[in-house]
A and B are shown apart, each in its own frame.
Chain A
Amino acid sequence: ARRGTGTEDVGKTDTGDGKEKYRGLKDKRLELKKNHQKEELKKEVDLEDHKLSIKELERKYGTNIVTGLSSTQAAELLARNGPNALTPPKETPEIVKFPQADGAILCWIAYGIQYFNDKSSSLDSVYLGCVLALVVILTGIFAYYQEAKSTNIMASFSKMIPQQALVIRDSEKKTVPAEQLVVGDIVEIKGGDKIPADIRLLSTQGCKVDNSSLTGNLTPSLRTHDNPLEAENPWNKMSTSPVGTATGMVINTGDRTIIGQIASLASGVGHEKTPIAIEIEHFVHIVAGVAVSIGILFFIIAVSMKYYVLDSIIFLIGIIVANVPEGLLATVTVTLSLTAKRMAKKNCLVKNLEAVETLGSTSIICSDKTGTLTQNRMTVAHLWFDNQIFVADTSEDHSIFDQSSGTWASLSKIITLCNRAEFRPGQESVPIMKKVVVGDASETALLKFSEVILGDVMEIRKRNRKVAEIPFNSTNKFQLSIHETDDPSDKRFLMVMKGAPERVLEKCSTIMVNGQEQPLDDSTAEAFHTAYMELGGLGERVLGFCHLYLPADKFPETYSFDVDTVNFPTSNLCFVGLLSMIDPPRSTVPDAVTKCRSAGIKVIMVTGDHPITAKAIAKSVGIISANSETVEDIAKRLNIPVEQVSKRDAKAAVVTGMELKDMSPEQLDELLTDYSEIVFARTSPQQKLIIVEGCQRQDAVVAVTGDGVNDSPALKKADIGIAMGIAGSDAAKNAADMVLLDDNFASIVTGVEEGRLIFDNLKKTIAYTLTKNIAELCPFLIYIIAGLPLPIGTITILFIDLGTDIIPSIALAYEKAESDIMNRKPRHKKKDRLVNAPLAIYSYLHIGLMQALGAFVVYFTVYAQEGFRPSALINLRVEWEKDSVNDLEDSYGQEWTQYQRKYLEWTGYTAFFVGIMIQQIADLIIRKTRRNSIFQQGLFRNKVIWVGIASQIIIALILSYGLGSVSALNFTMLRPQYWFVAVPHAILIWVYDEVRKLFIRLYPGSWWDKNMYY
């Protein structure tokens, strides 16, 4: 009854109090939002609740730990604070992406102006405007569709099963969806559950929590209680509780949980523009610059040649249309998504298409340790007994150490018995290393280790019945249990203990050597310390083991052990041995790191783990190479103080979060440039962010790999965030641009290779696409200056850009690399541009010009054979285009009506179109390589190229012969022989380019190489 009134009282006061608190929270949130981009956000998260007593908590949250909240209270709170779910990150409205084809929109507007100025002008312009608008919309939709498709894969991938929570409300236990939890709810957690919100523990029974997705570490660190991330209490949402049961009070929900705050930190980090987006933008600027300057130049020329201003504007538009590669957006998107598909097959799921290339230009990889470089699975690595260190490799033949020793027999018994972990039932057919275990990481490791070496652990435990147990806790730092022995003649109890080695040793007076107990003297203690230091120095977690046979006379079979009063001895035990565990690196990682090195990519480890462990793993995977030393190593080797060591001598550095905290950005820059091998240990999510920013200041393209929620801000900040697919948390996957489905670091290398290839191939695609722009542009220029009948119409140009050229330019994406792309340095973000001067110049002024000449030959041939010789065409434009001239004389004295001329003009368009198309085939072939000869590359190795060529020809045939009768398209049926007029020019282009490549190969670094290699 007392409690009941208490609840009422609290309930009453709660309304005001709660509101206040709510307002406080809201303010805090507002503040958070305001400061998203500001440094304040990078401060550590702060929680006080774990320091309050239960009574204080009850008061603060207006709840009661026995009866829980009432349903009405809960509903009220839910309505006020919103559901216990993270706000999904905002997607950029896709419509924003549309104006990318701004050039085309400009044309449309201009045509609109023209239409309104002169309504009597032919409807062609309006029609063309519509076509252009359609092009813009279609390419936009297409790009959006491609993007959405890959995003959808992701969405389905990350969909979670709705979580349930067991909550006490109205004094009853109820199962409610985790989303409906409110602050003050009392929840019960069972082993294996995901913690649904931030909770403050009230009571627990042997319950541990795995915060690894939060801190990045395998087990919660016990060092400090000041930092809520590392404190034992409270527990945080998203953590899982592998063992035991617990009751707790919800203290934060939804976005206000620590997870939520990290997530908002992640979403607050602005996403950088991808390098390929920058490159495409740069390219667009070049093209736009060329288009606009040529356009304006000829506008001025046209006006000064006394053309009407309106006509001049039309010329301007024609020039711009000819210059804008309308199909490029679609091509790039398809090319990227093709690569994305290819990478997905290799278990790299790309969320953001542009990220495909980013990986290729990556110059620094900041990798998380746990779960990325390592297996996120503790494994026994070393044993020490009989004054000897043994290597325990459970993955291979397990008889590598001496198992005949009596010490091993005792040690194995302790390992088996002093362990609370168990296999989850029903996994008989699963290999031991893959079985699911209920228990914490170290106990799991020990269980698996003993299962592998000794066989059925459960059976052994059954034979040695457990009579009493003191579980591990952080004050004792040991775990103890008392068992009956399996020897029926031995009526003694066996007490086994494991724990922190120094603590265990304190309790021992003897040590077992070769199965014999010996007094523990200074020399053996010395040996112990040496071994302990050595194993610890390897970054391994060391446990000590000891036992004691309780004398049968003092502890008879019926003796009742009481763990609370400890009515049994816990000192003068017999020390048996040490065992060390490590989260071993993934087997594929060292090779992948080496490959990254040879590809010029710096791999930096950033972990929340202990520096020694971090360094050991870094050494074993090659992030710190075998022959490089840190300043500390040198100091130790030379036996001099650290300060005296010249920093130049050290290649590697291990930096802790504490040191990082005191560093200025300049010092960090210095650190990043001075050392080639760097390990950051004990870093917080905020510091990861700082490190990534530091790398980005070096003009590096930074990739971040990670799996935990704590990694998500850095994943977001990175140029490319790579999350682990299996071990990764949803927050990490959401923030990442790429997900490694098999958690295999080596997949990154594949990604880098694909990314570099796509960059090379995009270069080829763009070179291919740019070339014909000149062939499309020259007709306008000649038309304006020399007054020829228009050689090619705007619609025809669109048919090249969006018809015949699309498939071939995509086909270049299938081109194989010319040389080993993994042996060169990553491209410099600001120096190695996608479109550089030689590329533009060679495409525009060499091949493009040759193409234009070839196409003009076809054009002149058609006109000459139909009656208009080239000389007659010059300055014919005005008469030619006059509707009122229906008897225009040609070179033979024949007279032409306006429509007859128009039809001939369309035939000219078709001829010019075919001329460009034929030469684009040659262009396509030469673009297969940039340096090697086509014959070195293999003319037929890339079959898609030939599909592209076939498509080009077929589309052109359809346009000319199939749609030649549709007058709106301006195509006519071309006489067959005109298809071959440009062939010699096509061959000339091929020969010229082979000569270019030959000289580049013959004289590397020469004038030719510098000017002709793109």
Chain B
Amino acid sequence: MAALQEKKSCSQRMEEFRHYCWNPDTGQMLGRTLSRWAWISLYYVAFYAVMTGLFALCIYVLMRTVDPYTPDYQDQLKSPGVTLRPDVYGDKGLDISYNVSNNRTWTDLTLTLHNFLAGYSPASQEDNINCTSHKYFFQESFRAPNHTKFSCKFTADMLQNCSGLVDPSFGFAEGKPCFIIKMNRIVRFLPSNSTAPRVDCAFLDQPHGDGRPLQVEYYPPNGTFSLHYFPYYGKKAQPHYSNPLVAAKFLNVPRNMQVVIVCKILADHVTFDNPHDPYEGKVEFKLKIQK
């Protein structure tokens, strides 16, 4: 500050600055002559080139050490996350509300489901094989074409009433909406020891309205994810893999009031009690059906 506080007029300062920008006596530009600028630029170019090279080398070495099929660590992926379709997020988490009598309020929701299930059309599942074993589908070698592994087929029609094929409105029109629950993929994750993981939906707190528990129809039956969809071997090994889905059709959602529904995945190795992560092993959502 002291240097600035010296009484210099504005024009003097401008003059000084101009002199700094271009000094005709020494041929200096911004404190350096042109050749000096060239030299210093050359140095920096060289220096940064070397640095970039070294950095690239580091990243290259890193990529060489990383396994292309399986991640080295899955510290955060001990238990899969669960997502819901249709997914409309409010201020705090999923928040779905619509009016039965006004179809404009739910066409977006059904559209989301249609779009989501487009990936499960027979055409897009063409490359996958049909599995029926209901046991873990372990594949140690790459027997599928192009040095990949097989993936099991999951088509929309497996969701029956909630497939959108029978009822394009997914039950929204009649106030018994379908929701699709998806479990996140984790490479080589085995959800349970023997029984298939199952979806279980219920009101979060207490029964609402008339005090009856939530009545749910699950598709596929029992709301299970068949074990033959597991383990997942990663994108490179299973490029056509599709997550198995479970659809839940809620039959007795009270009208004109907001209810909170939680759908958990019941399996030996899926936990849903992480206080920090609301989407781990379960999905919670608010639902309000107006009439």
Contacts and interface: CB of A to CB of B under 8 A. Distances in A.
B54 A988 contact: yes
Contact of A975 (B73, B87, B279): B73
Shortest Cβ-Cβ A-B pairs, 7 listed = A893-B235, A897-B81, A895-B184, A899-B277, A865-B72, A884-B89, A867-B71
Contacts of B235: 889, 891-893
Interface in A835-867: 845-846, 849-850, 853, 856-857, 860-861, 864-867
A278 B2 contact: yes
B154 interface: no
A893 B55 contact: no
Given A857-B55, A884-B87, 17 more contacts: A860-B59, A861-B62, A864-B63, A866-B73, A886-B81, A886-B82, A887-B81, A891-B71, A892-B236, A894-B184, A894-B234, A895-B184, A897-B184, A897-B279, A897-B280, A899-B279, A900-B280
Contacts of A891: 71, 235
A916 to B, nearest CB: 16
Given A278-B2, A857-B59, A866-B76, A1011 B40 contact: yes
B159 to A, nearest CB: 18
B81 A892 contact: no
Given A281-B1, A895-B80, A899-B280, A864 B54 contact: no
Contacts of B66: 864-865, 869
B232 interface: yes
A896 interface: yes
19 contacts: A282-B3, A864-B63, A865-B73, A866-B73, A867-B74, A884-B89, A886-B279, A893-B187, A893-B235, A893-B241, A894-B184, A894-B187, A895-B80, A895-B83, A895-B184, A896-B76, A900-B77, A901-B76, A975-B73
Contacts of B51: 849-850, 853
A903 interface: yes
Interface string A745-757: 0000000000000
B62 A857 contact: yes
A883 B182 contact: no
Interface string B240-280: 01010000000000000000000000000000001011111
Interface in B218-243: 232, 234-236, 238, 241, 243
A637 interface: no
Contact of B75 (A849, A864, A866, A899): A866
B55 to A, nearest CB: 5
Contact of B1 (A278, A845, A903): A278
Nearest to A890: B71
A904 B71 CA distance: 14
A287 to B, nearest CB: 14
Contacts of B47: 846
A860 B187 contact: no
B70 A892 contact: yes
A92 interface: no
A940 interface: no
A898 interface: yes
B185 interface: yes
A519 to B, nearest CB: 72
A120 interface: yes
A892 B187 contact: yes
Given A120-B91, A857-B55, A865-B71, A887 B182 contact: yes
Contacts, number: 134
A282 B5 CA distance: 12
A886 B280 CA distance: 9
A385 B262 CA distance: 118
Contacts of B82: 886
B44 interface: yes
A975 B89 CA distance: 35
B186 interface: yes
A659 to B, nearest CB: 30
Q: A interface, how many residues as a size bin? A: 35 or more
Nearest to B277: A899
A864, A899, A900 — which one has the most chain B CB atoms within 10 A of its CB?
Answer: A900
A845 B44 CA distance: 9
Interface in B13-39: 36, 39
Contacts of A895: 80-81, 83, 184-186, 243
Contacts of A864: 62-63, 66, 72
B184 A907 contact: no
Contacts of A345: none
Contacts of A887: 81, 83, 182, 184
A935 interface: no
Interface residues of chain A: helix, strand, loop or mixed (majority): helix
B73 A856 contact: no
Interface of A: 120, 273, 278, 281-282, 285, 830, 845-846, 849-850, 853, 856-857, 860-861, 864-867, 869-870, 883-884, 886-887, 889-901, 903-904, 907, 967, 975, 988, 1007, 1011
Interface in B55-95: 55, 58-59, 62-63, 66, 69-77, 80-83, 87, 89, 91
A887 to B, nearest CB: 5
Contacts of A967: 276
B44 A866 contact: no
Nearest to B72: A865
A860 B62 contact: yes
Nearest to B66: A864
Contacts of B280: 897, 899-900
Contacts of A1007: 36, 39
Contacts of B80: 895
A473 to B, nearest CB: 54
B143 to A, nearest CB: 19
Contacts of A856: 55
B49 to A, nearest CB: 13
A967 B275 CA distance: 12
B284 to A, nearest CB: 11
A853 B71 CA distance: 24
Contacts of A853: 51, 54-55, 58
Contact of B185 (A282, A869, A893): A893
B89 to A, nearest CB: 4
Nearest to A868: B71
Contacts of A846: 47
Interface string B171-204: 0000000000010111100000000000000000
A866 B1 contact: no
A278 B1 CA distance: 7
A853 B54 CA distance: 9
Contacts of A845: 44
Nearest to A897: B81
A857 B83 contact: no
A866 B71 contact: yes
Given A120-B91, A278-B2, A865-B66, A896 B59 contact: no
A845 B51 CA distance: 11
Contact of B77 (A273, A870, A884, A894): A894
A846 B36 CA distance: 19
Nearest to B2: A278
Given A883-B89, A887-B184, A894-B71, A900 B55 contact: no
B81 to A, nearest CB: 3
A123 to B, nearest CB: 14
Nearest to A898: B279
A897 B277 CA distance: 8
Given A273-B2, A857-B59, A869-B63, A896 B71 contact: no
A892 B182 contact: no
